Structure 1
Amino acid sequence: MIAPLLLIGLVVAVFVGYNIGGSTTGPAFGPAVGADVITKTAAAAFMSLFFFIGAFTIGRQVVTTLSEGLVEPGVFTLETSITVLFFIGFALFIGNLFGVPASTSMTTVGAIGALGYVSGTLDWAELGEIVTWWLVAPLIGFWVCGVIGRYFYPRINAWINIQRTDNELFIIDTSKMIPRVGVSSEATNRELFGAGTVIAIGCLMAFSSGTSNIANAIAPLVGSGDLEMNAGIILGSIAVGVGAFTIGRRTMETLGNDITHLPLTAAIVIATVSSFIVVSLSALGIPASFVVIATMGIVGLGWGRATRTTSVREGVRGEKSTTVSVGALSADEEGEELPEIGEEDPEDIPSAGDLFNPSTTGRVILLQNLVPGISTVGAYLVFEFVPVFGF
Structure 2
Amino acid sequence: MTEVLLIVGILTAIFVGYNIGGSTTGPAFGPAVGANVITKLMAAGLMSIFFFVGAWTIGPNVVDTLGNELVHTTDIFTMRSNVAVLFFIGGALFVGNYAGVPASTSMTAVGAIAALGLATGELNWSVLGEIVVWWIVAPIIGFWVAGVVGRYFYPRINEWVAIEANRDGRQMITVDRSGAVPRLQFQENATRREITGAFVVVAIGCLMGFSSGTSNIANAIAPIYGTGALEMGTLILIGGAAVAIGCFTIARRTLDTLGNDITNLPLTAAIVVAVISSTIVIVLSSIGVPASFVVIATMSIIGLGWGRATRTTTLSDARRGEETRVSVGALTAEEEGEQAPRIGEEEPEDIPKASDLFDPSTTARVILMQNVVPIISTVGAYLTFRFVPLFGF
TM-score (norm 2): 0.85
Say if 1:24 and 1:291, in contact at 8 Å, map to a contact too. no
**Which segment is superposed worse, 18-27 or 327-336?**
327-336
Matched AA of 2:9:
G
Q: Does 1:368 align with 2:370?
A: yes
- Give the match for residue 90 of structure 2: 89
In the other structure, the counterpart of 2:55 is 55
Structure 1: distance between partners of 2:259 and 2:302? 11
Deviation at 1:98, TM superposition (A): 1.4
Partner of residue 293, structure 1: 296
1:251-262 to 2 correspondences below 5 Å: 251-262=254-265
Q: 1:54 to 1:43 in 2, by over 3 A?
A: same
Separation in structure 2 between the aligned mates of residue 55 and residue 209 of structure 1, nearest angstrom? 8
3-state SS of 1:134 partner: helix
Q: Which moved more, 1:267-276 or 1:78-87?
A: 267-276
- For 1:317, the equivalent position in structure 2 comes to none
Q: State the secondary structure of the residue aligned to 2:340.
A: coil
Counterpart mapping for 1:175-254 below 5 A? 175-176=178-179, 179-184=182-187, 186-254=189-257
Check if 1:115 corresponds to 2:110: no
Comparing 88-97 with 188-197, greater Cα deviation is found at 188-197
Aligned pair count reads 382
Tell me if structure 2 keeps the 8 A contact 1:260–1:298: no
- State the 1:134 CA deviation: 0.6
Q: Which runs of 5+ in 2 are unaligned?
A: 314-321
Cα distance change, pair 90–201 in 1 and its aligned pair in 2 (3 A): same
1:36 aligns with 36
Contact 2:61 2:285 in 1 (8 A): no
Deviation for aligned residue 1:77:
0.4
Q: Is the 8 A contact 1:171 1:181 kept in 2?
A: yes
Counterparts of 2:311 and 2:262 in 1: how far apart (Å)?
21
- The answer on whether the counterparts of 1:19 and 1:240 sit within 8 Å (CA) in structure 2 is yes
The letter of the residue matching 1:266 is A
Contact map agreement 2:149 2:304 (CA 8 A) in 1 = yes
State the shift of 1:154 in Å. Answer: 2.5
Deviation per CA, 1:305-343: give whole Å up to 9, x if none.
Answer: 6x67969xxxxxxxxx99878853756224211334664
Give the 3-state SS of the residue equivalent to 2:300 in structure 1: helix
**SS of match in other structure, 1:182:** strand
2:20 and 2:128 mapped to 1: Cα distance? 22
Cα distance in structure 2, aligned partners of 1:118 and 1:335 = 56
CA distance in 2, matches of 1:227, 1:340: 59
Indicate the RMSD between aligned Cα atoms, in angstroms: 3.1
SS state at 2:115 partner: helix
Classify 1:352/1:107 alpha carbon distance in 2 versus 1 (closer, same or farther; 3 Å).
closer
Contact 1:91–1:107 (8 Å) recurs in 2: yes
Answer yes or no: is the 8 Å Cα contact 2:59–2:214 preserved in 1. yes
Distance in 2, matches of 1:234 and 1:51, equals 11
CA contact (8 A) 1:255 1:298 kept: no
Deviation at 1:344, TM superposition (A): 4.6
Match in the other structure for 2:317: none
Q: Which residue identity lines up with residue 215 of structure 2 in the other structure?
A: S
Match of 1:276 among 253, 274, 279: 279
Q: Is the CA contact (8 Å cut-off) linking 2:161 and 2:336 kept in structure 1?
A: no
Of 175, 197, 215, the match for 1:172: 175
How many angstroms apart in 1 are the aligned matches of 2:115 and 2:149?
A: 39
**Partner AA of 2:15 in structure 1:** F
Q: Structure 2 vs 1, CA of residues 381 and 168 (structure 1 numbering), >3 Å: closer, same or farther?
A: closer
Deviation at 1:266, TM superposition (A): 1.8
The Cα of 1:231 is off from its aligned counterpart by 2.6
In the other structure, the counterpart of 1:73 is 74
State the percentage of identical aligned residues. 65
The structure-2 alpha-carbon separation of the partners of 1:242 and 1:374, relative to structure 1 and needing over 3 Å to count, comes to same
Indicate conservation of the 8 Å contact 1:194/1:268, yes or no: no
TM-score between both structures, scaled by the size of structure 1: 0.86
Paired with 2:5 and 2:133, the residues of 1 have a C-alpha distance of: 37
1:79-137 Cα deviation digits (max 9, x unpaired): 01001000000111111111111111111111111111121211111110110111121
- C-alpha distance 372-388 of structure 1, shift in aligned 2 (>3 A): same
TM-superposed CA distance for 1:17, in Å, is 0.4
C-alpha separation in 2, matches of 1:323 and 1:281 = 33
Q: Is the 8 A contact 1:303 1:356 kept in 2?
A: no
Equivalence map 1:296-335=2 (5 Å): 296-298=299-301, 300-301=303-304, 327-328=329-330, 332-335=334-337
- 351, 354, 357: which is aligned to 2:356? 354
Which residue number corresponds to residue 314 of structure 1?
none
CA-to-aligned-CA distance 1:244-268 (integer Å, 9 cap, x gap): 1222122222223323213332222
1:145 is the counterpart of 2:132? no
Structure 2: distance between partners of 1:77 and 1:324: 55
- Partner SS for 1:337: coil
1:121 match: secondary structure: coil
* Distance in structure 1 (CA, Å) of the matches to 2:354 and 2:125: 43
Query: Alpha carbons of 1:369 and 1:150: their partners in 2 closer, same or farther (altered >3 Å)?
Result: farther
CA shift at 1:208, angstroms? Answer: 2.0
Equivalent residue number for residue 22 of structure 2: 22
> In structure 1, which of residues 373, 377, 380 is the aligned counterpart of residue 379 of structure 2?
377
